[in-house]
Amino acid sequence: MFLLAVLLYGLSMVYSVFLWRKGFQKDNHVNYFLLLAGFGFHTAAMLLRGFRLNQCPITDLFEATIFVMWTIVALYLVMGIWSRLRFLGAFASPVLFCMGVFALMPGLDLVHGTRPDVPEPLTSFHAAFMALAYGAFGLSFIAAMMYVIQERNLKFHKLQAVFSLMPPIQRLELAVGRLLVTGFVLLTIGLVIGAFGLMQVKHPQVYRGDPKIVWSVLVWLIYLGLIVMRWKFAQGGRRFALGAIGIFVFVLLTFWGSNLLSPLHNP
């Protein structure tokens, strides 16, 4: 099921090339429905996995990756109801396809040892909020990419910036900011739930320096700095968009490593 979803994300990525070549001057529903169909297979794969494990499917790096992908697609499908934001899919599909190929790599889906005795509801809520947070950050990354492209077209007086159906850069900047704040709030809630759950295990101090915990706090601080820079010091525009892009690229490149090094998340 998940392989079929990745193939549909790949088809969406290929179709996005044609939208790019046309300068996003034609509102086409094909890309949206390709991602919608992929989302259906993706959801089925997660449900089957969850029923087989009889718990929220977040037991290894494979499941964590597909959970984050699922939230990105789900948020896009909601936002894509508005035609002006539908072209987010053209930027989202390459990200989803690459993440899907990475998730399918051999060795990520393994049976691990016994995890700390954290209450299952807390574990599920923690994972859900964290995945939703990274999904919001992923969409902010995509909106920021759209902003940079639109800003560049306007700077060089390209006609496709005038005739493009993509949102104006002011609306894109607003979308990036709101998605970042949403993701930051969800990340904060997820970290708080995770910390409370960790307090329920014996000897929680053993995990104080866990690489995944340190990495998560670092990501929280970096996003906090970007948000403060935006609203406190009025650092918006291209610099703000590049910050959103750079931070999410850092998250993508380091997420798997911190997870594999973590005794708590990878026992």
The Cα 138–Cα 126 span in angstroms is 18
The Cα 242–Cα 72 span in angstroms is 20
Domain ranges for the chain = 1-109, 116-267
Cβ-in-10-Å burial (0-12, 13-18, 19+) of 199 comes to exposed
In whole angstroms, what separates CA 40 from the centre of its chain? 18
Phi, psi of 211 (to 5 degrees): -55, -40
pLDDT of residue 127: 79
CB–CB of 110/160 below 8 Å?
Answer: no
Would you report the helix, strand and coil content of the chain in percent, each value rounded to 5? 75, 0, 25
Please give the full DSSP string across 80-126, using - where no structure is assigned: TTSGGGTTHHHHHHHHHHHHHHHHTSTTSS----PPP---HHHHHHH
Helix 61-79 to helix 30-53 angle (10° resolution) is 140
pLDDT of residue 25: 55
The Cα 227–Cα 176 span in angstroms is 11
The Cα 252–Cα 267 span in angstroms is 22
CB atoms within 10 A of CB 197: 19
The Cα 80–Cα 83 span in angstroms is 6
pLDDT of residue 115: 55
| Ordered per-residue pLDDT tens for the chain, 267 residues | 999 999 999 998 888 877 766 655 555 678 888 999 999 999 999 888 888 877 666 667 788 788 888 988 988 888 777 766 677 777 888 888 988 888 888 766 665 544 555 556 677 778 788 888 988 898 899 888 888 877 776 666 554 544 455 566 777 788 888 889 999 999 999 899 888 877 766 665 556 677 888 899 999 999 999 999 887 766 667 888 899 999 999 998 888 788 777 776 665
pLDDT of residue 55: 66
The Cα 212–Cα 232 span in angstroms is 29
The Cα 202–Cα 193 span in angstroms is 17
| Amino acid at position 69, single letter | M
Q: What does pTM read for this prediction?
A: 0.77
